[in-house]
Amino acid sequence: MTDVFAPAVRRPGEHALTALGLAAPAPDPADASPHAFPGGGRWRTEIPSCEGPEALAVVLAESARLDVPVHRISQGSGVWMLTDAEITEMAGASAERGIELCLFTGPRGTWDTGGSVRSDSRGAGVRARGHDAVAGCVEDAVRATELGVKCLLVADEGVLWTLHRARTAGVLPADTTLKVSALIGPVNPASYAVYEHLGADSVNVPSDLTLAHLTEIRRLSAAPMDMYIEAPDDLGGYVRMYEVAELIRRGAPLYLKFGLSKAPGIYPYGHHLREVTLATARERVRRGRLALDLLQRHGADGEMAPLGSRLPGPLRRFDTPA
């Protein structure tokens, strides 16, 4: 494995601080993740909250204009908020560019009738409430994959296990990937490994995890990690752009997610939110350019996974029932 902090790589402000006698200790090689994506590369990119064909077109145009490489585009409102024609258009446009399209499986508890999710404790949060909610998520998964979608976003452990079993049994295509939402992201290595065993192909961790937490996770699991480099306000609003090289060094294989703070929520999306959705889609790509520029200035922009790559490589799973 190539250390992202090889001699040619510098940390932010390193030369100036060294001259002032304020140099930081050298990074510990033991903190670096030993893992990478199959086929090479330690990081991929993701543009989230792309809520329909029009927003997708904006992202594709802006990424071409700003030369932002994109491996995955994800949507948060859910499969059920899109028509067949819209899903087909999004899947086709993404496939044409070699980009993985990820759609959220619905229903989720925060939009359900349960009062506990609006209590101070938030109850079960976004998870699928009852058999019918699980069934709705499965319905979304089958419909989306039949229309050409290859990645599904989930926010419930039971739904994840069910969809993994469906994939294993041939109900869903074998190359379907399953992504765990930031809304239920694990915060310790043991729970991260459980998601991997349940069928997750990438796991979105909360953006407030420390660098040490990422190293702890990587000592137990090689499953790709998703992390907002800039998180939406409802996920904390954290902006960790200056840490991006170290996040890769410790968290690889890592999807760099370019979210947006100080922006209104747009889920579930409809045309009444069109202007803000298109404007924020455009700005997410620009935020991606800023993060990639930082990597380049620090000499840490190598080791990006090839564009068009999407599979996670061999992962550990629980045995599925016959």
Report residue 254 as tokens. 């890592």
Which own/partner pairs from 234-239 qualify as long-range (CB within 8 Å, at least 24 positions apart)?
234/265, 235/182, 235/183, 235/206, 235/207, 235/259, 236/206, 236/207, 236/208, 237/261, 237/262, 238/207, 238/208
Q: What is the pLDDT of residue 109?
A: 67
Q: How many whole angstroms separate alpha carbon 265 and alpha carbon 253?
A: 29
d(CA 45, CA 73): 9
pTM (whole model) above 0.85: yes
Query: 3-state DSSP call for residue 245?
Result: helix
pLDDT of residue 3: 47
Domain ranges of the chain: 35-110+124-297
| pLDDT tens track, the chain, 322 positions | 444 444 468 888 888 988 898 888 888 889 999 999 998 899 999 999 999 999 999 999 999 999 999 999 999 999 999 999 999 999 999 999 999 999 999 887 677 777 566 666 566 678 888 999 999 999 999 999 999 999 999 999 999 999 999 999 999 999 999 999 998 989 999 999 999 999 999 999 999 999 999 999 999 999 999 999 998 888 888 899 999 999 999 999 999 999 999 988 888 888 998 999 999 999 999 999 999 999 999 888 889 999 999 999 999 999 988 6
pLDDT for the residue 128: 86
Query: What does residue 228 show for φ and ψ, rounded to 5 degrees?
Result: -70, 115
| CATH architecture of the domain formed by 35-110+124-297 | Alpha-Beta Barrel (3.20)
pLDDT at 27: 86
